A and B are shown apart, each in its own frame.
Chain A
Amino acid sequence: MLIRLSGGRVIDPANGRDGIGDVWIRDDRIVESPQGESPDAVYDVTGKIVMAGAIDIHSHIAGGNVNTARLLLPEFHRAHRPRPPETPLSTAGWSTFETGCRYAAMGFTMVVEPAVMPHHALHAHLELADVPIIDKATLSVLGNDDFLLSLIRDGAGPAAIADYTAATLDATKGLGVKCINAGAAMAFKHNVRSFALDDVVPDYDVSSRTIVETLQQAVMDLGLAHPLHLHTNNLGLGGNVESAIATIEAARGKPLHLAHLQFYSYGAEGKRGFSSAAARLAEAVNSNPNVTVDVGQVMFRQTVTISLDIVRQYSAIDTASPKKTVIFDGDTNGAGIVPFNYRSNNFYNAVQWAAGLELFLLTNDPMRVFFTTDHPNGAPYTTYPDLFALIMSREERAKKLAELPEAAVELTTLPSITREYTFNEIAIMTRVAPAKILGLPDRGHLGPGALADVAVYNDDRDRAAMFRSAHLVFKDGDLVVREGRVTHYRFGRALKVNPSYDKTMDRKLKTYYDDLYGISPDLFKVPAAALGRENPFGEVACGR
């Protein structure tokens, strides 16, 4: 099948392209304009914007905790319209099917679920198998597990820790490693209620900083493209910009991804001891090229926070709206689910909203700042179109700023910022940069050989409308979306790495599990055959 997308404005920063032209698709790949061959299908996209499919590197779309949140909040996701004939369950509110459809409708062709607890990896992959259209990947969570902490305490050395990390990635079918408030979930089991970078895990005498450094090294030793993906300490607290800056310094120049940085961008100014320190934090990001960040923008609406940072979630119980929460003391991890309503007339929420936008606008390099709301923690991913509009338009921001409490606005620099993201920068931030940071050379661009994941948008002045309903979306060269509607299902794959490691680690883990839990670690395996889809996995290269 040869397809020609004709006459659109092609925005492909990875290949230095921004101009009117054609894009050619043969089967599932982008190809050079072929000589003397006529296409099987031509789409006239004159006046439209053509980009590669977008990639979301941090969105909690699947897994046991997400599902518990669904069951916790039946009142928030009722469906209201029948599904179209060809796409079962696509209108079922917050179903995996709806997730795939709504992401695809916005031109997204891959999403990373960033917090998979190793003992719940099968559950996460089962849910991802029921997310249609898009490709997926998971990050496996380490850093609160007894086995890792005992390796560090006992001085097992980097080789053993890299082997353990690789064994975990292999068992959980992960693409990378996530660390969430390193050591805190373990400390919480010992009744510790707050946990900072240099706090020490009881019993193990290992600090949060040491855990982060250790995992950062393991990720480098395994040659994973994706740096350690870190949710650092003291999320959400006034004055926590110091924690973020200390974490950036703790990276010691080595690659580190800091997740949902907005939640760490608070100073302690003003009579409430809560202000935006995003400008200072953006400066720290700008001057540390080893660091990448995603924003975790807050948008004003009802949502639910789902996090493995059990210390933070437990402390937020009283803020729950509606008043019901889940706290889960999981195997080697923890989790909390706290519904939350971000309101524009709330001082703190207004500061958070402004701080997120400041991070977007004051971070210079769109290769190092990623577009996220930490779905659903800052806002559901369905607010992305509105967020695109905000970062692309000073006027849109001014309109919203006028609705916010003045006391909050005064504690931010947002009104003074004139920057507006260009299409080219949007394409870098949501296409080129994610493909690079996940190690996917055939994605995020429209050069020959690239996977034919293509989003075509109407060049609507209303940028939110433009990004909400793509004109056309191709997944692997298959036209799956027309005017924001998914026409049929296909099922993508979960991309994973397969680093080699010394298999004696498997035997060590077997002995450890048998001795401690009286069971085999194999019980937690993720067999491809259990997922009920053909070829559920795709493999991504790593250094070993």
Chain B
Amino acid sequence: MKVLVDGATASLETAAAAAARLLGEARLPLVAGLGTDVEGARAAISLAEKLRGAYDHMHSEILLRDIDVLRQAGQFVTTANETRVRADCVLLIGDDLTSVWPDLAARLNLTSPARFDDYNEPRKVFWLGPGKGEAASVGATEIAAPRSELPSLLAALRAEVAGRKIHKDSPLVRKIVEVAPALKAARFGVMIWSGESIGRLTIEMIHGLLLDLNKETRFSGLPVSSRANAMGVAQASGWMTGFPMRTGFCRGYPEHDIWRFEAGRLVESGEADAALWVSSYGNEAPKWKRHIPLIAIATPGTRFAYPPKIKIEVGTPGIDHDGVEFAQNLGSLASRDAQKPSEAPQAAAVLRLIEENLKKGEGAC
């Protein structure tokens, strides 16, 4: 594991002190990436607070689609386990669910009847707008549709379920409304989607459809959470500040604003003048174009568009060290044991070391 300051090998202590200096002197330091476990998120948010900086996650955009619908309209959700053991009818929505959640088919086991379905019948499984081969992987009836058509198709489905009149002039609409009787006849149905492939209005349409269906029968939702522990970081952010990521501490208390504290915007606009990037899962680097001083806490082999001032290589949670993450398979935070325990430092430990190196007292802005 390498530690580099201005391209030269350095000790972790030296690098942490240099990072603290750089961040401490910035007007608005940004803590971004946040591809880390819950312990890393706690340390990163604590550091951002001390710095009076802002923090964002590399996949906020995706996760906030679900969270925005939650805080506008609410949420009707269940877990992978309940879907596996109880769902007699499943509607999957949008493509790429299996790439965001590779275990989907194995965890949900949709090709067998649900254990707790009183009728022990084969499940009715539909997939609206799947990617190539996805529907077959779970034995679903495919309703092919481009992403752009999903909002109007779900609107048509909701209208049909609610018994409203709709124009059935397109073949796609005729196909999707055929699903309505199966949904209404479900005993415990589940809809599955991901913010990766559908937007806020579509998610809100699903929520409305779930509420409508529950007037007569039982139906729930299973959002597929985004990558790099975005949901786990959002959870830690929630209990530490009351808000998800895209939160700043410039006034000495947390303020949440999904436009104002978006990492890319903060950098490109020149508001943020130093950034700390955390990526301990994949080799993900910041996508912003402007070259502001960068401290990288990242896995080995991460390629940056411009050289970080300070680079500290760290291990991956669940591989190099134990770590708590949001587990899509379980629908909760869970502790994952290290698969190949190593000496690679944890992002959380590095972040805490930087915080300890900050001068006591108030932060930058």
Residues of A within 8 A of B (CB): 62, 64, 66-68, 70-74, 77-83, 85, 88-89, 91-97, 119-120, 122-123, 126-127, 130, 146, 188-191, 202-203, 314, 317, 320, 324-331, 516-519, 523-527, 529-530, 532
Contact = CB atoms under 8 A, between A and B. Distances in A.
Contacts of B242: 70, 74, 77-79, 92-95
A317 to B, nearest CB: 8
Interface in B28-55: 38-39, 42, 46, 49-50
A329 B220 contact: yes
A523 B106 CA distance: 17
Given A74-B243, A92-B242, A330-B78, A524 B332 contact: yes
Given A119-B332, A532-B42, 16 more contacts: A67-B238, A70-B243, A85-B361, A88-B46, A93-B242, A95-B242, A95-B254, A120-B332, A126-B324, A146-B85, A189-B218, A324-B72, A327-B74, A516-B115, A524-B334, A530-B324
A71 B67 contact: yes
B240 to A, nearest CB: 6
B152 interface: no
B14 to A, nearest CB: 25
B335 A527 contact: yes
27 contacts: A67-B235, A70-B239, A71-B234, A71-B244, A79-B254, A88-B49, A92-B241, A119-B79, A119-B331, A122-B324, A122-B333, A123-B235, A123-B333, A126-B239, A203-B118, A317-B211, A324-B73, A327-B74, A327-B76, A327-B220, A328-B75, A328-B78, A330-B79, A517-B84, A518-B107, A530-B39, A532-B39
A519 B108 CA distance: 12
Contact of B187 (A97, A191, A331): A191
Given A62-B239, A527-B335, A92 B256 contact: no
Interface string B58-85: 0000000001001111111111011011
B109 interface: yes
Contacts of A93: 242
B116 interface: yes
* Smallest CB-CB A-B distances: 10 pairs: A82-B252, A79-B253, A329-B78, A324-B74, A123-B333, A530-B335, A67-B238, A329-B220, A326-B75, A325-B74
A140 B72 CA distance: 31
Contact of B71 (A67, A73, A85, A95): A73
A328 B214 CA distance: 13
Contacts of A314: 214
Contacts of A324: 70-74
Nearest to B361: A85
B330 interface: yes
B96 interface: no
Nearest to A76: B242
B327 interface: yes
A314 B213 CA distance: 13
B68 to A, nearest CB: 10
Contacts of B79: 119, 329-331
B330 A88 contact: no
Interface centre among A68, A189, A527, by most chain B C-beta atoms within 10 angstroms, is: A189
Contacts of B251: 82
A72 B74 contact: yes
B357 interface: no
A41 B84 CA distance: 62
A74 B235 contact: no
Nearest to A128: B239
A146 to B, nearest CB: 7
A523 B333 contact: no
Interface of B: 38-39, 42, 46, 49-50, 67, 70-79, 81-82, 84-86, 106-107, 109, 115-116, 118, 187-188, 211, 214, 217-218, 220, 234-236, 238-244, 251-256, 322, 324, 327, 329-335, 348, 361-362
Interface centre among B116, B211, B239, by most chain A C-beta atoms within 10 angstroms, is: B239
Given A71-B234, A89-B240, A191-B218, A523 B334 contact: yes
Nearest to A329: B78
Nearest to A314: B214
Given A71-B71, A518-B107, A96 B239 contact: yes
Given A77-B242, A324-B73, A331-B79, A523 B330 contact: yes
A130 B240 contact: yes
Please report whether the interface of chain B is mostly helix, strand, loop or mixed according to DSSP. Answer: mixed
A81 B253 CA distance: 6
Given A123-B333, A523-B334, A328 B77 contact: yes
Nearest to A532: B39
Contacts of A77: 242
A89 B49 contact: yes
Contacts of A526: 335
A66 to B, nearest CB: 8
Contact of A330 (B42, B82, B116): B82
B240 A95 contact: yes
B196 to A, nearest CB: 19
A524 B115 contact: no
Contacts of A530: 39, 322, 324, 335
B324 A92 contact: no
Nearest to B253: A79
A31 to B, nearest CB: 35
B101 to A, nearest CB: 15
B66 to A, nearest CB: 10
Contacts of B239: 62, 66-67, 70, 95-96, 126-127, 130
A264 B155 CA distance: 41
Given A79-B254, A516-B115, A189 B81 contact: no
A324 B76 CA distance: 11
Contacts of A331: 79, 81-82, 331-332
B57 to A, nearest CB: 14
Contacts of A64: 235, 332-333
Contacts of A191: 187-188, 217-218
A67 B242 CA distance: 8
Given A71-B67, A130-B240, A91 B253 contact: yes
Given A72-B70, A88-B50, A189 B241 contact: no
A353 B239 CA distance: 30
B170 to A, nearest CB: 32
A530 B232 CA distance: 14
Given A203-B118, A326-B75, A519-B329, A70 B109 contact: no
Contacts of B38: 126
B70 A326 contact: yes
B322 A529 contact: yes
Nearest to A515: B115
A285 to B, nearest CB: 35
A43 to B, nearest CB: 27
Given A74-B242, A82-B251, A529-B322, A326 B74 contact: yes
Nearest to B85: A516
B113 to A, nearest CB: 13
Given A122-B334, A203-B116, A326-B75, A85 B322 contact: no
Contacts of B220: 327, 329
A11 B175 CA distance: 74
